[in-house]
Amino acid sequence: MEPGPTLDGKTALVTGGAARLGAAIVRRLHAAGARVLIHYRRSAQPAEALRDELLQRRPDSAALVQGDLLDPTSWPRLVTAAVEFGGGLDVLINNASSFYPTPIGDATTAHWDDLFGSNARAPFFLSQAAAPRLRERGGCIVNMVDIHAERPYADHAVYCMAKAANAMMVKALARDLAPEIRVNGIAPGAALWPEGYMADAQRRAILDRIPLGRPAGADQIADAVMCMVTGPDYITGQILAVDGGRSVQQ
């Protein structure tokens, strides 16, 4: 059997990398040989535990950077931290995201600023800050989008609009940063259920609309990210739906 793709000698920055999908992505990139810089905002304890887990497997292969991505000063600081840790930057994963309902009549400008800030503004400006370093090493950017960027989710209008902006960002940056930097996206469907967010009946209703009949799980999403990072280098500006066929269901 041929060996799998390798990221030996590469440095990856993953925002929101301490838990859930972000942690799965971090582990997958690290297993392929990358040195990973794990960004977190409040999740210090799980971030430290993940870093220590990875360092036990391979010394000097993981580090942490804390920051609120709504703060503009965080964007260049994260890039600087990645370069100081890994000697450069090869992969940026824009994973960090806010998600919660904003029913019409209850949505506020604070909700708008937070949801657009984490899902559109921060990924764009972090990508802009990282672009010179990524260009030096022929790097790539992968955004975590959402199938609801195209198909709205009830009572989540602001989040869905923010993810739609994120999806257009993938296409716009792919054009503007070519040919040195590839930019792609992953659009998960049901992957990990939000903790304490859905009743069992809601989950069953979602599964009934998925042709494959099951949620993805974190590893499926991480594998898709890995595909975008290490797959054919002629792919850019594309968003891969990892949704069990939900996006083609009537």
Buried b (16+ CB within 10 A) or exposed e, 22-46: bbbbbbbbbebebbbbbbbbebeeb
> Cα angle vertex 214, ends 103, 167, to 5°?
50
**DSSP secondary-structure letter at 121?**
I
> Cα(215)–Cα(1) distance, rounded to whole angstroms?
30
Beta bridge partners of 242: 188
Length of the chain, in residues: 250
For residue 179, is the peptide bond before it cis, meaning its omega torsion is within 30 degrees of 0? yes
Is 40 considered catalytic here? Answer: no
The amino acid at 40? Y
Among the listed residues 40, 100, 159, 197, the single catalytic one is 159
Answer left, alpha or beta for residue 179, where phi above 0 means left and psi between -120 and 50 means alpha.
Answer: alpha
Can you tell me which residue has the tokens 């994963």? 93
Q: Which two tokens stand for residue 51?
A: 């870093």
**C-beta atoms surrounding 181 within 10 Å:** 24
CA–centroid distance for 132 within its chain:
20
Catalytically annotated residues? 159
